[in-house]
Amino acid sequence: MSEKNWPSTRDANGPMAKSISLLSHQGIQSQDADGIPESSKRFSDGARWKIEIPSVEGPLAFKAILDEAKKRSVKFHRISQGSGIMMQTDDEIKEMVALGKANDLEVCLFVGPRAAWDIGKQPLSSAGGVASPTLRGTDQLRYAVEDVLHGASLGVRSVLVGDVGLLSVLGEAKKLGDLPSDFILKTSVAMPCTNAATAQALVNLGASTLNLATDLSLQQIAAIRAQVDVPVDVYVEGPDDFGGVVRHYEVPDLVRVASPIYLKFTVRNSPGLYPAGGHIQAVIEATGRERVRRASIGHAMLTRYGYEK
């Protein structure tokens, strides 16, 4: 397939032509909208899409998803963790970093401190609450910076950030040389990016890759892509507490309009894992393996219809 030819699944002559024809013969419209432009932007290696497996809580879970990926012949490119750097031992962090290097995978760990775990009650209130990964007070901000610096000292080169002020501090730290220039700052889905202006503001603060809100339409995602060049992260299947979207059939069009894109796969109808630990280790590993299975389903949407990187 030509680099410039990534046909829409909405195209009457495209990969879903039979479904479109069937609907048309019955006088039924076959699409919600048309004319969304294709993105010409790419990852630095030329790829349009990559796969992320989220909520990989520790080295045992990491090994479990590597094993499952091997069984299913699924290639993924990044793992992310949600419990935070501070909720793992140094040895566990070093092991995750080593597993990432050995398997050519980006290892992204969440910054530990967050409002939802602090002593205040507003983050848990029904009205006027704040997003759970924001930082409450200057002490928490300092703790968060310490968490990142500690992770960096152990080899971590990618972190999930859920607070705008922290993102600004870490972005400036990269400019000043307090963090490596190639240190990746990934925004959290809990700090939602929902429009082009917000996307640009986050990039200006130092974001390397943007987690988009889980419920954006293709049109809304395309508008953000037109504004910024950094990769975007989109949940193909999202967690229940973030709306629980399941949009596997949109994978080809998500790639078409939003590349460079990380396709993320979690598991609906599953318990929360944060903060993770040995008390729920079986659930951590089981849901990790199921995320890989879900990723194999999403990847099949690309191969089934003849799409390539």
- With beta carbons less than 8 A apart as the criterion, state whether 92 and 109 touch: no
| Across 216-239, average pLDDT | 93
The per-residue b/e assignment along 251-283, b for 16 or more CB within 10 angstroms, e otherwise, is: bbbbbbbbbbbbbbbbbeeeeebbebeeebeee
- Asked whether residue 269 carries a pLDDT value surpassing 90, the answer given is no
Distance CA 49, CA 45 (A): 11
Distance CA 27, CA 21 (A): 10
Across the chain, which distance is largest between two alpha carbons, in Å?
A: 64
Give the per-residue pLDDT at 198.
93
pTM above 0.85, yes or no: yes
C-alpha separations of 292 from 51, 79, 194 in Å: 10, 11, 27
Percent of the chain predicted with pLDDT > 90:
68
Distance CA 80, CA 108 (A): 5
Give the per-residue pLDDT at 122.
64
Strands 78-81 and 210-211: unpaired
How many other C-beta atoms can be found within 10 angstroms of the C-beta atom of residue 175? 10
What domains can be seen in the chain, in order of their start residue?
A: 37-304 (3.20.20.380)
- With beta carbons less than 8 A apart as the criterion, state whether 93 and 151 touch: yes
- With beta carbons less than 8 A apart as the criterion, state whether 267 and 288 touch: no
Question: What would the pLDDT profile of 51-101 be if each residue is shown by its tens digit?
Answer: 999 999 999 999 999 999 999 999 999 999 999 999 999 999 999 999 999
Give the per-residue pLDDT at 2.
46
The closest alpha carbon to 210, from 182, 191, 226, belongs to 191
